[in-house]
């Protein structure tokens, strides 16, 4: 946990999950469609990947929320020169990134629900 508190990498895990999900969804559906497999496979596969991605992002959001520790002191500015302020800042930014990533993953999944086939 202590590692997470001073790590830039942890802050960007959620958008990295978005990127991997995006790439996986795009490649998977392209391959399924190009190799003439049924559209249902693409649909099912994408939804499964989305479920995994959303679960992981949610988990990151929970960790980031704990790291931010907002309810403890109500601090959302984090401008002090302290380890606490830095930790809470990284948690706050990580949480916001997780929220945006969650929305973006949901957005990217919508086409498989609306588009009926590979054309």
Partner 1 sequence: MSASDVSPTAPGSDVLDSPMQGVWPPTPAMLASPVDPDLSRAQAKRLRKAWETPRGWRHVTAVNNTHVGKWYAMTALAFMLGAGVLALLMRIQLAVPENGFLDSDRFNQFFTMHGSAMMFLFAVPMFEAISILLLPALLGTRDMPFPRLSAYGYWCFLIGGIFVLGSVLFDAAPSSGWFMYPPLATESEGIGADIWLLGLSFIEVASIAAAVELIVGVIKCRPPGMRINLMPLYAWYVLVVGGMILFAFPPLIAGDFLFELQRSLDWPFFDPDRGGDPLLWQHLFWIFGHPEVYIIFLPSIAIAAMVVPTAARVPIAGYSWIVLSAVGTGFLSFGLWVHHMFTTGLPALSLGFFSAASEAVVIPTGVQIFAFLATLMVGRARMILPMLWIAGAVAIFTAGGLTGVMVALAPFDWQVHDTYFIVAHLHYTLFGGMVFPVIGGVYYFFPVIKKKKLSERLGRWSFWLCFTGFNICFLPMHLTGLLGMPRRVYTYQADLGWNALNLVSTVGAFVLALGILVFVWDLVRPKRHEPHTPRNPWGAGTLEWTHDVPDEPWGVRSVPYITSRYPLWDQPELLARMDAGRFYLPDAPEGLRETMITSAVDAVPLHVARLSGPGWSPLVAALFTGGAFILPTFKIYTPAVICGLLAIAAILFWLWTATARIPEKPFKDGGLGLRLPTYVSGPKAPGWWAVFITMLGDATGFASLVFGMFFYWTARPDFPPPDSPHADPVLSGIAALLFGAAWAATRLARGLNAAGLIGAARGSLLAGPLLALAGCGALIAAILHLAPQTHVYPAMVWALVIWTVSHVLCGAIMQGYCLARSLAGRMTAQYDADLWNTTLFWHFLLATCLIGTAMVALIPRAM
Tell me which residues touch partner 1 (CB under 8 A).
Answer: 2, 5-8, 11-12, 15-16, 18-19, 22, 25-27, 29-31, 33-35, 42, 76-86, 89-90, 92-93, 96-97, 100-101, 103-104, 107-112, 114-115, 118-119
Residues 6+ positions from 11 with CB-CB distance below 8 Å: 64, 90, 93, 94, 97
Minimum gap (Å) between residue 54 Cβ and partner 1: 14
Minimum gap (Å) between residue 61 Cβ and partner 1: 13
**CB-wise, 39 or 59, nearer to partner 1?**
39
Residue 42 burial (C-beta neighbours within 10 Å; 0-12, 13-18, 19+): buried
CB 27 within 8 A of CB 108: no
**CB-wise, 59 or 84, nearer to partner 1?**
84
Minimum gap (Å) between residue 95 Cβ and partner 1: 9
**CB-wise, 58 or 107, nearer to partner 1?**
107
Minimum gap (Å) between residue 25 Cβ and partner 1: 6
State how far the Cα of 58 lies from the Cα of 52, in Å rounded to an integer. 10
State how far the Cα of 101 lies from the Cα of 15, in Å rounded to an integer. 5
Residues 6+ positions from 33 with CB-CB distance below 8 Å: 39, 42, 118
């Amino acid at each position: 946990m202590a590692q997470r508190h001073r790590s830039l990498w942890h802050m960007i895990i959620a958008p990295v999950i978005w990127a991997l999900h995006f790439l996986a969804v795009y490649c998977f559906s392209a391959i399924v469609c190009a190799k003439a497999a049924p559209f249902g496979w693409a649909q099912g596969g994408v939804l499964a990947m989305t479920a995994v991605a959303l679960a992981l992002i949610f988990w990151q959001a929970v960790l980031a929320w704990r790291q931010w520790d907002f309810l403890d002191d109500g601090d959302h500015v984090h401008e002090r020169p302290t380890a606490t302020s830095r930790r809470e800042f990284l948690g706050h930014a990580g949480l916001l990134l997780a929220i945006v990533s969650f929305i973006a993953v949901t957005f990217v999944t919508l086409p498989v629900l609306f588009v009926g086939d590979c054309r």
